[in-house]
Structure 1
């Protein structure tokens, strides 16, 4: 069998040299490939099926696909959605058919970054996957439910691959130091503390961890016959370190979702954590500022109207001062939003109003509420019998209605018993009682939800 993992023709980076050649050396994904797990048993029995491997970079998607081909004695072919199109897909399928006819072996067609294919390109796989001409293995960092069409998904099983733990990364780096011939020749000396900092910086990415270790080895200093990697060397390696933050991808939306939920759940500590994670990863602070304004309206509303003002002020500070002063103002706003009284009453009311408007006919504006800027409008009684609230006792025209008659008395806004909305509910209840008692009711009213 051809070796899928080694190329003697050129120098390979450490990450390539440490690519496992058996499942026993595969690091991580024990929830899928641990002993006794269904996927592990299927691979060991050589039972191939089409699949989509979904997970962040550097967690072993390509490596697993290669191991799958090796374990199942299948030919391994690969396409990159960045470079390939329908022509390349058909060519790969033709080669798979020719190979099957000559050797009787199946082909695993590995498609990297499959989410970059458009719908027509994804559809090109369907007949070949359906017929078993190829075993399709797609790799993606994006949510397949959003990025892949249903027809392709229905023919594949989706497996979620997780970021590697620090313990898994640490074990991988130690094995590299102990087993890689090139590193052994260099007699590398590195403390557990420095090694742990490399794994922390790699942020669950095995490829990144091995690359950082290799760079550190290249920058190591000679001391007593050893190549030493200490804190000073590591500082040089990590100068441009940026945590994983895929703007516009799943990581981006997962983290802003976590921030929003922490605010909604009144947890200022978690909210600050997710905010700092996003900023540390390179997120535009203005994006978070805009989302904070949304949180102030959606989750706090009139329970604490100051929340919206504080969020807007933080946005303004960020635009005026930039980083890092502006980020501190956003952090202040996020903490305030998290501890503020919560209400989604306005948000819920607005959604109910929109739902009714889209479901019901367009009710005409009642005549007494219409504007009368012209003589003709006045002759048509526009604005007639309108009661000017400022001329009424306490500035309230008891019994008046501002709805179309067909939906008079309908209620959408239900203040919650928290914060300022306690007072709002008291006032609304008082006004409703005045309406009910008024002898000048515009329509016979019965409250409607």
Structure 2
């Protein structure tokens, strides 16, 4: 028996939930269907957001011969079989080829259809959950209209579930009643995936039907039992992984402990302990840095503890480090300084190291052995002399951050250096 999501798959665009930016009156996909002029397209976005359904609707509305492949199992012979149908009696109006999970096709497989979509023999619709800039061959991408499918909200999914209940009532000839709470629960734990939510609902219905009753009541207990647990949308090699890490760091950088701990919880659900530790260590220097130099020592202790403990206990020192970093004053002065210095090495002639600063055993130093001034021989362990190469002697890489610690350093050195100049 087909899963519920496949049984009730919409056949019209107005039955699609979400995607209001591309579906609706005078929206792009509606205009494409109405015009019967289908361009080559790549649909990208999370699972269960309607990509396959929309492709089927467009295919059914066109007068082209429809072929469907799945990138997870398709090979070059499958593509050749489609190509071989070009110009036959039943493809006189052209071929519409839908390739689901197109990112699984290798470069050679993607290239094999390039000339056919270029001359119009084949119209391609591909769908993917991956970053199209990395997963789709550039020449193929440039010949397609790129359409984003956005994540569904809980309300979108609840509305999809309500539609499914009505359709199942008619199919099963029974009364299905429900509370709002179980439908919302199913929607929330589906991770934005309507297909997953519908299949959970299908399980609720099929496992609670009794032959001596034409009534079924869906309560929260039935929903929890069939949903089991929430599936977090976390792919360690995909966009969601990098988006979540970005969200984590930007929340800490923005000094929002609530968002930071929420982002950490999402990362913990993904289970990649090492990447969390690595990102916390980076943040302690990149975003807090000299505003609170002890941060990296504390974070190192927390991450070492987390790695030794493992999950689930690792969540506690990770939370400690996250909340500390989110609550501390911020400075990216060190980050900016080293980036500026590295950039100069790549883009300009920075000159030679000053001779009086060379190693004491080098020829340059021997020739200038009396020119180096040893700072510890002078008051406050400081004496003015040239340290920068002559060609960049006026460069400023490090600028004191606007925080208490760095400003205290600035005050100290301004005072010392002013006394030398005076």
Fold match by TM threshold 0.5: yes
SS of the aligned residue for 1:180 comes to helix
Given the alignment of the two structures, is residue 30 of structure 1 paired with residue 15 of structure 2, yes or no?
no
Task: Work out which of the residue numbers 251, 255, 258 in structure 1 matches 2:240.
Answer: 251
1:161 aligns with 2:149: yes
Deviation per CA, 1:279-325: give whole Å up to 9, x if none.
23x23133122111111111121011122222212211211222233
CA distance in 1, matches of 2:393, 2:153: 60
Residue 60 of structure 1 is aligned with which of 41, 50, 55? 50
Deviation at residue 227 of structure 1 after TM alignment: 4.3
For 1:273 and 1:50, the matched residues in 2 are separated by 40
Supply the distance in 2 between the matched residues of 1:406 and 1:179 (Cα, whole angstroms): 77
Cα deviation for residue 217 of structure 1 reads: 2.5
Q: What residue number does 1:285 align with?
A: 273
Evaluate the alpha carbon distance shift between residue 416 and residue 59 of structure 1 in structure 2; reply closer, same or farther with a 3 A threshold.
same
Over 3 Å counting, the alpha-carbon distance change for 1:50 and 1:378 in structure 2 is closer
Structure 1 residue 395 corresponds to structure 2 residue 346? no
Indicate which of 7, 20, 37 corresponds to 1:47. Answer: 37
- Counterpart residue number, 2:371: 385
Do the aligned residues in 2 keep the contact of 1:272 with 1:331 (CA within 8 Å)? Answer: yes
5+ residue gaps in structure 2?
A: none
Separation in 2, partners of 1:182, 1:228: 16
User: For the Cα contact (< 8 Å) 2:44–2:148, is it kept in 1?
Assistant: yes
Residue 260 of structure 2: aligned partner: 271
1:440 maps to none
Give 5+ residue unaligned stretches, structure 1.
1-10, 438-449
Residue 306 to residue 313, structure 1, CA distance change in 2 (3 Å): same
> Which deviates more from structure 2 when the two are superposed, residues 376-385 or residues 184-193?
376-385
Aligned CA distance change for structure 1 residues 126 and 436 (closer, same or farther; 3 Å): farther
Q: Segments of 4+ in structure 1 off by > 6 A?
A: none
Match of residue 66 from structure 2: 76
Once the two structures are superposed, the pairs formed by residues 172-211 of structure 1 within 5 Å of their partners are 172-180=160-168, 184-185=172-173, 188-211=176-199
- Measure, in 2, the Cα distance between the counterparts of 1:82 and 1:258: 30
- Cα distance, 1:326 vs. partner? 2.0
Contact 2:39–2:144 (8 Å) recurs in 1: yes
CA separation in 2, counterparts of 1:321 and 1:223? 52
Pairwise CA distance, 1:177: 1.9
Kindly indicate whether the alpha-carbon contact (under 8 Å) linking 1:293 and 1:308 is maintained by their aligned counterparts in 2.
Answer: yes
Find out whether 1:420 has 2:405 as its counterpart: yes
Q: Is the Cα–Cα contact under 8 Å of residues 343 and 416 in structure 1 kept in the other structure?
A: yes
Structure 1, residues 56-95: CA drift from partner, whole Å, max 9, x if none?
A: 0011111111100111232221222222344432332222
Name the residue aligned to 1:238: 227
8 Å Cα contact 1:59-1:161 kept in structure 2: yes
1 CA distance for matches of 2:79 and 2:409?
63
C-alpha separation between the residues in 2 aligned to 1:220 and 1:181? 14
Figure out how many residues of one structure are paired with residues of the other and give that number. Answer: 421
- Residues 435 and 345 of structure 1, relative CA distance in 2, 3 Å threshold: farther
Q: How does 1:124-143 map to 2 (within 5 A)?
A: 124-143=112-131
3-state SS in 2 of match to 1:108: strand
Structure 2 counterpart SS, 1:33: coil
| Distance of aligned partners of 1:340 and 1:128 in 2 relative to their CA distance in 1, 3 Å threshold | same
Distance 1:180 1:74, change over 3 A: farther
Asked whether the 8 Å contact 2:42–2:127 carries over to 1, the reply is yes
Distance 1:254 1:286 in 2: 17
Mean Cα deviation higher: 47-56 or 34-43: 34-43
Matches of 1:339 and 1:386, distance apart in 2: 44
Could you tell me which residue of structure 2 aligns to residue 7 of structure 1? none
Structure 1 stretch displaced more, 53-62 or 322-331: 322-331
Rate the CA distance shift 1:379–1:390 in 2: closer, same or farther, 3 A: closer
Contact 1:304 1:419 in 2 (8 A): no
Bigger mean CA offset, 112-121 vs 61-70 = 112-121
Q: Determine the C-alpha separation between the residues in 2 that align with 1:26 and 1:424.
A: 61
CA contact under 8 A between 2:43 and 2:128: conserved in structure 1?
yes
Counterparts in 2 of 1:219 and 1:403: CA distance versus 1, 3 Å: same
Kept in 2, the 8 Å contact 1:80–1:112? The answer is yes
Q: In the alignment, what sits opposite 1:98?
A: 87
